[in-house]
A and B are shown apart, each in its own frame.
Chain A
Amino acid sequence: MKFGVVTFPGSNCDYDAYAAVRHVVGEEVEFLWHKSNDLLGSDVIILPGGFTYGDYLRSGAIAKFSPIMESVIKFANSGGKVIGICNGFQVLTESGLLPGALIRNEHLRFSCKYVHLKVSNNQTVYTSACKQGDVLKIPIAHGEGNYYNFDGDIKTLEDNNQIIFRYCDENGDVNEQSNPNGSINNIAGISNKEGNVLGMMPHPERAVEKILGSTDGLKLFESLQMAFSKTSIGG
């Protein structure tokens, strides 16, 4: 399995994602430059966190027109696996690969801390190593992570099990106190209907070694490894 990590101007978690995949998870990984349209044969694309194009206009709004995104959008639309983390999630919503928008945190502050996430759907290639309802400890670091969408679209997300992670407390209770940014229904991560595109505000690549405070982020990578080993066994 080969990962491709996109570097946009202003990406600042690209090296974290690269290091997590290469040195901890132990899979092949390459950087993908925003001006190129070559995905270099990647099986999984990671849009990393950061402040693409200085967050000018809206977070993620300019990145969607970069040459690499043209290829990423085609790849995603043909079933390719794409993960957007933090700013990468914002790029995915702006690009129309995921529904909704990420707006300013309700309290207006930049939040940088560990949070707990409840796995609301473990039937995806990104969460199959988790049990339904598992609580993961993974950090967030954002000022605009407040997931917004229309009531009808939220219902569609709920009905299709597209809500993958919700903010919760350490016991797994999804409540207002554990919502760090005002997201509707404590949404921390969603997928597209087909399940091949995942966007999440928390940073799994920052929770892959004990020294970082948690290894729960590895679950996401382990899930992908399981999915890809099944594919290769099946031919």
Chain B
Amino acid sequence: MSSKKTVFVRLKEGVLDPQGVTIHKSLKQMGYDDFVSVKSGKFFELEIKADADNIDQMVNEVSEKLLSNPVIENFTVEKN
């Protein structure tokens, strides 16, 4: 058995998100005028050994060290 955690990484408020802006423009071109903005981001599904210790702490640690860049990104962890 194993457990799963999903880490969502989002750009911080105020950091330019050219991908989100471009997708938003594209939506407008397609005729969807009701979207106010689009933000892009990424997520990681981590499968973890069932007998692992301090899972929350470990997931936070790797999210900070590797999965996100604290200069430009925030992360949140969701349990599956």
Q: Which residues of chain A have a CB within 8 Å of any CB of chain B?
A: 57-58, 61, 65, 93-94, 99-101, 103-108, 146, 148-149, 182
Contacts and interface: CB of A to CB of B under 8 A. Distances in A.
B66 interface: yes
A58 B69 contact: yes
B69 A108 contact: no
A16 to B, nearest CB: 27
B71 A104 contact: no
A219 B22 CA distance: 39
B71 A106 contact: no
A58 B65 CA distance: 12
Given A57-B66, A61-B66, A108 B18 contact: yes
Contact of B69 (A65, A101, A107, A182): A101
Nearest to A59: B69
A61 B69 contact: yes
28 contacts: A57-B66, A57-B67, A58-B69, A61-B66, A61-B69, A93-B71, A94-B69, A99-B71, A100-B71, A101-B69, A101-B71, A103-B15, A103-B16, A103-B72, A104-B16, A104-B19, A105-B18, A106-B16, A106-B18, A108-B18, A108-B19, A108-B22, A146-B16, A148-B15, A148-B16, A148-B71, A149-B71, A182-B16
Enumerate the 4 nearest inter-chain pairs by beta-carbon distance, A residue then B residue, closest first. Answer: A101-B71, A101-B72, A104-B18, A108-B18
Interface magnitude class on chain B: 10 to 19
Contacts of B19: 104, 108
Given A105-B18, A182-B16, A182-B18, 9 more contacts: A57-B67, A58-B69, A61-B66, A61-B69, A93-B71, A101-B69, A101-B72, A103-B72, A104-B16
Interface in B12-28: 15-16, 18-19, 22
Contacts of B22: 108
A149 B72 CA distance: 8
Nearest to A104: B18
A182 to B, nearest CB: 7
A160 B4 CA distance: 46
A23 B63 CA distance: 44
